[in-house]
Amino acid sequence: DTAVSQTPKYLVTQMGNDKSIKCEQNLGHDTMYWYKQDSKKFLKIMFSYNNKELIINETVPNRFSPKSPDKAHLNLHINSLELGDSAVYFCASSLGRYSNQPQHFGDGTRLSIL
């Protein structure tokens, strides 16, 4: 009964491949997010969706394409993977925009590009 679950937990792949990371939340939240934590442990927002609508896109390369089939899911597809994409990607959710409720995070997906 994990609140925010991401799959896979680990992803090792070669440069140039296309891969997807899935995220699901069972909290009934309206808003979901993707964050990237780089090798220096710096955590930065990438995208935010509210009720399947894109709200925040933080100048992420268009090789990254989030998709929200419903408000409980926010998947991240990455095309033509590059070495610099190696990082931990975190999914999070919150009750709603401006809800003044905390964000809940998944355990992360560790992406390694060979």
Q: Which is nearer to another protein, 14 or 41 (CB)?
A: 41
Q: Which is nearer to another protein, 14 or 104 (CB)?
A: 104
Residue 10 binding another protein, by CB under 8 A = no
- Per CB under 8 A, which of residues 34..93 are in contact with another protein? 40-45, 48, 55-56, 58, 90, 92
Main-chain phi, psi angles of 25, to 5 degrees: -125, 140
Binding letters toward another protein, positions 94-113, x by CB under 8 A:
x--xx-xxxxxxxxx-----
Q: Can you tell me which residue has the tokens 């939340």?
A: 25
Minimum Å gap between C-beta 16 and another protein is 28
DSSP 40-91: T--EEEEEEEETTEEEEE-S--TTEEEEEEETTEEEEEE-S--GGG-EEEEE
Taking the C-alpha atoms of residue 96 and residue 16, their distance in angstroms, rounded to an integer, is: 36
Contacting positions for another protein (CB under 8 A): 4, 31, 40-45, 48, 55-56, 58, 90, 92, 94, 97-98, 100-108
